[in-house]
Amino acid sequence: MHTQSPHDDALVLYEERFNSRFLLGTALYPSPQVMQDAIEAADCAMLTLGLRRQNPGGGNADGDGDAFWQILRESGCHLLPNTAGCRSAREAITLAEMSRELFDTPWIKVEVIGDDYNLQPDPFGLLEAARELVEQGFKVLPYCTDDLVLCQRLQEAGCQALMPWGAPIGTGRGLMNRYALRTLRERIDVPLIIDAGLGAPSQAAEAMEMGFDGVLLNTAVAKARRPAQMSAAFARAIEAGREAYLAGLMERRQTASPSTPTLGQPFWHATP
Amino acid sequence: MKASDPMHEITLSLNGEPARLPEGTPLTQALEAWGYGERRVAVAINDAFAPRSTWPERTLGEGDRIDIVAPVGGG
């Protein structure tokens, strides 16, 4: 990894190459046009989207599903359907199967929620769903906590990339547990994408500097005063963080060390 | 499955709301009648995925729970 130049530094997920390390969500935008502009500015690897009940009249929780779908298709981005809101492995598996047919894609972000307060992934249901979906030939990207053993089990289940949370969904708190995340980076050798909880481009850059392979976010862009400008800012932060990781960060030190040479310092005279 | 009587109506749940249909209606026809027609949707019956290829053959029964979903924004 360290020897690659940024120019041939593609993100590889399930043997597929992506020229961006930014995955963007498509919820919560003030209008379809604003979303479209944010997508363009992001130049992202994938767009996430969901499935919700569509009422006979044509409307659903997000207005007109067909119009929304049209915008995503025209963006030319890869689509990453999610199983958001599912409470059990069974629900997530069924929704994944529905997504595969509807979007004609094997990609799935598997989400099994275990608690309403922090929308924390249910590790047990998640692992069960991931096993079954990998078996069925899905390209599973599990939304998981930063628990090392869970991530190891997901990897053993055949997940070729994992998406640990930075912080709970929609909180914008950044990387809450750096120790756990650094441990994951040390111990897990499939691509790791920080999913959820990022609120600022600096937090995305930090994740990339730590060696994470990509970043998935939604609220920070959709709820910005100017979403397109914010998505451009995130795109640059993600690139900058990645380049910094490849360049190799200096070690932290406790004591100061002058950068300008001390040899030849004027006004220093041996006391007569 | 018992012989269908087109005059007999069954009650089922469509996206959580009660709906009525003549007994033995194929799913394809039910979707048409409910206004889904050519819309981009996926279907689950009693919490199990019902692939599009099975719709013409699939008939609905009393008390079936139908979920019909379409794309929405998601994170």
pLDDT digits (tens, 9 = 90+) for A1-58: 444 555 589 999 999 999 999 999 999 999 999 999 999 999 999 999 999 999 887 6
The tens digit of pLDDT for each residue in B4-50 reads 555 789 999 999 999 999 999 999 999 999 999 888 899 999 999 99
Per-residue pLDDT averaged across A56-76, rounded? 75
Q: Classify burial at B57, counting beta carbons within 10 Å of its beta carbon; exposed 0-12, middle 13-18, buried 19 or more.
A: exposed
Tell me the domain boundaries of chain B.
Answer: 12-69
Question: Choosing from A109, A131, A139, A242, which is the catalytic residue?
Answer: A109
Tell me the domain boundaries of chain A.
Answer: 8-55+70-247
Instruction: Please report the pLDDT score of residue A65 as a whole number.
Output: 65
- Compute how many other C-beta atoms are within 10 angstroms of the C-beta atom of residue A89: 22
Contacts of A270 (CB under 8 A, 6+ apart): none
Q: Does the pLDDT of residue B56 top 50, yes or no? A: yes
Instruction: Please report the pLDDT score of residue A7 as a whole number.
Output: 59
Chain B neighbors of A75, CB-CB under 8 A: none
Angle at CA of residue A77, ends A22 and A25, nearest 5°: 50
What's the first-to-final CA gap in chain B, in angstroms? Answer: 42
Does residue A103 belong to the interface with chain B, where contact is any CB pair within 8 Å? Answer: yes
Complex-level ipTM: 0.91
Q: Does the pLDDT of residue A231 top 90, yes or no? A: yes
Portion of chain A with pLDDT greater than 90, in percent: 88
- Six-digit token pair at A127? 């692992």
Instruction: Please report the pLDDT score of residue B1 as a whole number.
Output: 46
Are A160 and A13 spatial neighbours (Cβ–Cβ below 8 Å)? yes
CA dihedral A20, A238, A214, A199 (to 10 degrees): -130
Instruction: Please report the pLDDT score of residue B68 as a whole number.
Output: 97
A223 included as an active-site residue: no
The tens digit of pLDDT for each residue in A218-227 reads 999 999 999 9
Q: Does the pLDDT of residue A271 top 80, yes or no? A: no
CATH architecture of B12-69: Roll (3.10)
Chain B neighbors of A216, CB-CB under 8 A: 75
| Partner residue opposite B72 with nearest CB, options A61, A94, A196 | A61
Instruction: Please report the pLDDT score of residue A69 as a whole number.
Output: 83
User: With an 8 Å Cβ cutoff, are A56 and B75 in contact?
Assistant: no
Q: Does the pLDDT of residue A84 top 70, yes or no? A: yes
Nearest CA-CA partner of A13 in A202, A141, A125: A141
Per CATH, the homologous superfamily of domain A8-55+70-247 is Aldolase class I (3.20.20.70)
- Six-digit token pair at A146? 């930063």
| Residue A29, helix vs strand vs coil | coil
Range scoring the smallest mean pLDDT among A7-11, A32-36, A203-207, A255-259: A7-11
Are B69 and B14 spatial neighbours (Cβ–Cβ below 8 Å)? no
Are A121 and A111 spatial neighbours (Cβ–Cβ below 8 Å)? yes
